[in-house]
C-alpha cells in the first residue's frame, strides 16, 4: 500500500473474526507463542497462491486508481464515505481512489458475479467475494466480519504466509486462515486466535 497518499480509512474493517456460537470446537487448539489457534478441520499445508480470477474490475487493497468507472456508487458507513464498484471498495484521497478493506456494515443491493456461498452453520449461509464476507439483510447484502470456521477456496492478493512453530497460516489483514483440504481440494478455514 502506498502510504504517501492522503487516505483516511475507518478502523471498522473486514479483518476481525466472529465466533461461531453454534458450533463448539471438537479439536484442541494449536498453541504457539502464547496464542491458541482454533479450527474445526485438521491442518493440511499447501502454499498460498493469491487468486486473481475475481474479474477485470477487482483490485487488491492498496491499489490506487486515478478515476473510477461511472458504475461506482457512493456508500457512507459510520460517517466515512466510500466508493463501491463490482466488489471493490475505494476511499478517496489526494492521489486518487485507494482500494481499502470492505467496511463492516456497508450494504450493497446485489452480489458481484462469481461470489460464493459460505456455510456458517446448518441454518445460516454467508456470501464471499474478493476476501469480503456478506450476510443477507433486508436491504441487500451487508459486509460482516468472517465467521470462525468459514471455509473458502480462494484468498485475495495481499495475504502472507506466517510461520507459527510447525504450522503456516495465511494472514489477510488481521484474519488468519488455516490451510486445509476438503473434498480433495486445497481450501482455507478462518481460524479463531486467542491469547
Which H or E run includes 176? strand 175-182
Report CA 101 to chain centroid distance, whole Å.
Answer: 8
Query: What residues does each domain of the chain span?
Result: 30-194
pLDDT at 4: 37
Per-residue pLDDT of the chain (195 residues), as tens digits, is 343 343 443 333 345 798 888 788 999 999 999 999 999 999 999 999 999 899 889 999 999 999 999 999 999 999 999 999 999 999 999 889 999 999 999 999 999 999 999 988 777 889 999 999 999 999 999 999 999 999 999 999 999 999 999 999 999 998 999 999 999 999 999 999 998
Of 169, 167, 174, 162, give the one whose Cα is nearest residue 189.
169
How far apart, in whole angstroms, are the C-alpha atoms of residue 49 and residue 37?
22
In this structure, the dihedral spanned by the alpha carbons of residues 176, 158, 144 and 35, taken in order and rounded to 10 degrees, is: 20
Per-residue burial over 19-40, b = 16 or more CB atoms within 10 Å of its CB, e = otherwise: ebeeeeeeeeebeeeeeebbbb
- Furthest C-alpha separation in the chain: 50
pLDDT in the model for residue 109: 96
| pTM greater than 0.85 | yes
Amino acid at each position: 500500500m502506498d502510504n504517501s497518499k492522503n487516505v483516511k480509512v475507518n478502523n471498522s474493517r473486514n479483518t476481525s473474526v466472529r465466533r461461531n456460537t453454534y458450533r463448539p470446537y471438537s479439536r484442541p487448539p494449536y498453541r504457539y507463542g502464547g496464542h491458541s489457534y482454533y479450527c474445526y478441520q485438521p491442518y493440511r499445508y499447501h502454499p498460498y497462491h493469491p487468486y486473481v480470477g475475481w474479474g477485470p474490475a477487482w483490485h487488491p487493497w492498496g491499489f490506487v486508481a486515478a478515476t473510477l468507472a461511472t458504475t461506482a456508487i457512493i456508500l457512507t458507513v459510520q460517517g466515512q464515505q466510500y466508493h463501491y464498484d463490482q466488489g471493490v471498495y475505494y476511499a478517496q484521497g489526494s492521489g486518487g481512489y485507494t482500494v481499502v478493506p470492505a467496511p463492516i456494515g456497508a450494504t450493497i443491493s446485489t452480489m458481484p458475479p462469481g461470489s460464493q456461498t459460505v456455510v456458517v452453520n446448518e441454518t445460516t449461509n454467508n456470501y464471499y467475494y474478493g476476501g469480503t464476507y456478506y450476510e443477507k439483510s433486508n436491504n441487500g447484502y451487508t459486509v460482516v466480519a468472517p465467521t470462525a470456521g468459514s471455509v473458502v477456496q480462494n484468498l485475495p492478493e495481499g495475504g502472507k504466509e506466517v510461520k507459527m512453530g510447525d504450522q503456516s497460516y495465511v494472514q489477510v489483514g488481521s484474519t488468519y486462515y488455516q490451510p486445509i483440504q476438503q473434498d480433495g481440494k486445497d481450501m482455507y478455514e478462518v481460524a479463531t486466535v486467542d491469547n
